[in-house]
Amino acid sequence: MRKYNASPFQLPCSRFALRAVIAISLACLAGCASRAPTPEATSVTVAATAPAVIEPLTDTRAAAASAGTVVLREDAPLRYVVRKGDTLWDIAQHFLRDPWQWPELWYGNSQVRNPHQIYPGDVLTLVSVDGRTRLVSDGPLERLSPRIREEALDASLPAIPIEAIRNFLRGPRLVTLEETQRAPYIVAFVDERLAVGANNDVYVKNLAQPIAYNYAVIRVGEPYRDPETRKLLGYEAIPAGEAELRTPDAPVGSTAVMRVTKSSREVLIADRLLPIEAESFEANFHPHAPLSPVDGRIISVFDGLSQISQYQIVALNRGSEHGVDAGTVLDILQSGRVVPDPYTRKAVALPDQYAGVLMVFKVTPQLSYALVMNAIRPLHVLDKVARPSPSSLR
């Protein structure tokens, strides 16, 4: 009976050697003594209380994947080294047909308790655990000696590209008519101008009590209406910048002075101001399908673009009252066109076409905001969103 000892090495080129390498890495991961390979499988004990059979995944990975709940890409690699700038979605796209299913792919061993605790340089390996396809971490690519890893607090991989939504999260995006009517507004600029940007002072009227010190400067945009019921959901709050109170001791009802500290577009007279609230956004949520069917539509796109592509932010006419929460993943369906029948001349409604996938990151009771994660066709306002369907049925 032949035993293998875990030690640092480079991957050999032969397939037999690759299997042995993966088995050794898994044995080291589990902290168990390596076992002799048998013709059926090479297994290690992951935990004394929960033994599991772990096999290296070979080129016949499609059969192994069918035993689990995820479907691997035909060209999925056996091994992947995490790179700086990767997100969990990016990594999952290398392995899965449906990247949002990455929580199903991760194997919960002692080194990777959740997929958010992996870092650039870590080596990820596909294996079969009790007949189900799983992804495990072999730790850093270069391991010279045992040591404590020191990383910045935000160095682990985020679920989605946070930079795509960071600025969006800093201000209110949905306001009611009552909120805008009560909100303070800019009546004039200290300097006689038609518009100002950052580092300019403005006069503000209608400050309410208690007075806040930091405000988001917004412009009231188009109304959000449910395209099916025509119900008013609120108004788009278009961000213009941020302002800081300069005269905190001003009497109630008097005109106050504020300084524009940031500007994303020109600040105009009549722009409204709303207090900036702490954003309770958790980047490391797990993507999931909604528990109940969702039949919604895209009703707006951030910055008013006509066509929608990857990593753009859209508003949906579905929110927490419809079973949508942060992390909800939905298919995007390009609304079917209506064409004339060439013989009867009657209208023929073409079926909806799968066009991409989005993930919700911010929710209100009747409306939510989502990031388009993938788009294979041009997307437009009023395209439909629905609970994800298996990739094999598209």
Give per-residue pLDDT as tens, 335-394. Answer: 888 999 999 999 999 999 999 999 998 899 999 999 999 999 889 999 999 999 876 556
Distance CA 103, CA 88 (A): 10
* Structural domain ending residue among the three candidates 110, 143, 176: 143
pLDDT tens for 50-103 read: 444 445 555 433 433 333 467 888 888 888 888 887 888 888 888 888 888 877
> How distant, in Å, are the alpha carbons of 91, 121, 145, 225 from that of 142?
20, 8, 9, 55
Q: Do 21 and 120 lie in a common domain?
A: yes
Mean pLDDT along residues 11-16: 41
Q: Which of 275, 307, 332 is the last residue of a domain?
A: 275
Asked if residue 236 belongs to a domain, the reply is yes
Inside any domain, residue 280: no
Q: Is residue 208 part of a domain?
A: yes
Cα 199 from Cα 259, distance rounded (Å) = 6
Would you say 170 and 302 are in contact if contact means Cβ atoms under 8 Å apart?
A: no
Q: Does a structural domain hold residue 7?
A: no
If you average pLDDT over residues 134-146, what whole number do you get?
64
- Range of the structural domain that residue 213 is part of: 168-275
Average pLDDT over residues 220-246: 91
Is residue 153 in some structural domain? no
CATH number at residue 300: 2.40.10.410
Would you say residue 113 has pLDDT above 60? no
pLDDT at 326 over 50: yes
C-beta of residue 352 within 8 angstroms of C-beta of residue 159 = no
- As a whole number of angstroms, the distance between CA 177 and CA 220 comes to 9
114 & 191 share domain: no
Of residues 262, 305, 277, 263, the one with CA closest to residue 362: 277
Greater model confidence, 26 or 316: 316
Which of the listed residues 126, 143, 160 is the one where a domain comes to its end?
A: 143
> What are the C-alpha distances in Å from 301 to residues 100, 293, 322, 379?
22, 23, 20, 10
CA 232, CA 229: separation in Å to the nearest integer? 9
> pLDDT at position 133, please?
78
Q: Are residues 309 and 269 in the same domain?
A: no
Residue 131 within any structural domain of the chain: yes
Indicate whether 124 and 223 sit together in one domain: no
Classify residue 2: in a domain, yes or no.
Answer: no
| pLDDT for residue 191 is more than 70 | yes
Rounded to 5 degrees, what are φ and ψ at 228?
-95, -45
Residue 163 lies in a domain: no
Q: Quick one: 118 and 39 in the same domain? A: yes
- Average pLDDT across the chain, whole number: 76
- Which of helix, strand or coil describes residue 239? strand
Residues 56 and 174 in one domain: no
Looking at residue 270, what is its pLDDT?
A: 95
In a shared domain, residues 29 and 103:
yes
